[in-house]
């Protein structure tokens, strides 16, 4: 058993805590959160637009002037909401609907059922590449097949292989300290830049109301950049989480 130092234990405990939040259940929570946020933006902007009415009235002996102020739906929150709803539907399709297994067995399924040791390495590699669209070593494939829920482990290894080495019996994290540091840094960056991205979106709305074309372009660019950094950071974290899952499967 690998002994961890004080700071390594701190990083490891933080990383495991985030693992419990952002592992498989997170996939569902993230999808529905996107859908809920997008729906809220769309419905909220519509309600605000159609209810934001005001009336000014000036009465005089000779005339009576009434001015109605009526605002339509806010276009920027509506567009952002539509984008978020679209993303949630796309993620749901990718993670749920498109993963429904076909009744027809693949070449890799047939190899596994017939006994993987009865086939040459190139046959295993060819079938695996067609099934999972990446190519690990045959030794890694055989190791994962010994584990429970091997399909999920194959998907984890695709993300985590840069952090792992392995023996005939188990996967081993190359550098636990580096892994925990990368994981914690990635999740901190995710929350920071996601928050800044949301702030940039608010500034886009402010720029639209102020008729500032330069502000719209600037803050739209910043929002895209910060959102991209957030997504990349979350992906980096998911790689470290996948590595820990495989290392703990021994």
Task: Note the pLDDT tens digit of each residue in 8-61.
Answer: 556 556 555 555 555 544 555 566 666 777 677 667 666 655 544 545 555 555
Q: What is the pLDDT of residue 60?
A: 54
> What is residue 8's predicted lDDT score, i.e. its pLDDT?
53
Measure the CA–CA gap between 8 and 160, rounded to whole angstroms.
20
The b/e string for 128-162 (b: 16+ C-beta within 10 A; e otherwise) is beeebeeebebebbebbeeeeebebbbebbebbbe
pLDDT per position as a tens digit, 142-172:
999 988 888 888 988 988 999 999 988 899 9
Contact 223, 201 (CB under 8 A): yes
pLDDT computed for residue 70 by the predictor = 46
Query: Can you count the helices (H) and strands (E) in the chain?
Result: 9, 4
pLDDT at 9: 59
Number of structural domains the chain divides into: 1
Is 116 within the bounds of a domain? no
Is 99 within a domain?
A: no
Stretch 92-102: mean pLDDT: 56
Q: Is 173 helix (H, G, I), strand (E, B) or coil?
A: strand
Assigned domain for 161 exists: yes
Domain membership flag for residue 55: yes
Q: Mean pLDDT across the stretch 112-118?
A: 90
Strand partners, 69: 54
54: left (phi over 0), alpha (psi -120 to 50) or beta: beta
Residue 108: other Cβ atoms inside 10 A: 20
Residues contacting residue 224 through CB under 8 Å, at least 6 positions apart = none
pTM for this prediction:
0.62
Separation of alpha carbons 32 and 28, rounded Å: 6
Residue of higher predicted confidence among 32 and 86: 86
What are the phi and psi torsion angles at 69 (to 5°)? Answer: -105, 120
The residue among 122 and 9 whose pLDDT is bigger is: 122
In a domain, 107, yes or no: no
Residue 122 maps to a domain: no
In a domain, 198, yes or no: yes
**Which range of residues forms the domain containing residue 209?**
6-93+136-247
Q: Is residue 120 part of a domain?
A: no
CB neighbours of residue 60 within 10 Å: 7
Bridge partner residues of 166 (DSSP): 171
Structure tokens at 123: 């046959």
């Amino acid at each position: 058993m690998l002994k961890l130092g004080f700071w390594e234990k701190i990083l490891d405990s933080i990383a495991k805590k985030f693992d419990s939040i952002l592992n498989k259940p997170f996939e569902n929570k993230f999808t529905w959160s996107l859908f809920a946020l997008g729906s809220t933006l769309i419905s909220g902007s519509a309600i605000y637009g159609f209810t934001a009415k005001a009336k000014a009235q000036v009465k005089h002996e000779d005339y009576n002037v009434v001015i109605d102020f009526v605002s339509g739906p806010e276009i920027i929150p509506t567009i952002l909401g539509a984008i978020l709803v679209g993303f949630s539907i796309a993620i749901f399709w990718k993670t749920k609907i498109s993963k429904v297994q076909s009744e027809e067995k693949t070449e890799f399924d047939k190899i596994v059922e017939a006994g993987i040791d009865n086939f040459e390495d190139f046959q295993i590699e060819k079938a695996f590449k067609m099934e999972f669209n990446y190519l690990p070593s045959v030794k890694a494939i055989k190791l994962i097949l010994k584990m429970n829920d091997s399909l999920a482990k194959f998907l984890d290894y695709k993300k985590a292989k840069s952090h792992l080495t392995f023996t005939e019996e188990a996967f081993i994290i190359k550098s636990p300290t580096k892994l925990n540091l990368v994981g914690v840094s990635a999740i901190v960056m995710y929350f920071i830049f996601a928050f800044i991205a949301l702030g940039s979106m608010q500034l886009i709305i402010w720029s639209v109301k102020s008729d500032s074309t330069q502000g719209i372009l600037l803050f739209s660019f910043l929002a895209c950049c910060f959102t991209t950094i957030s997504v990349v950071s979350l992906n980096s974290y998911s790689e470290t989480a996948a590595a820990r899952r495989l290392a703990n499967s021994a």
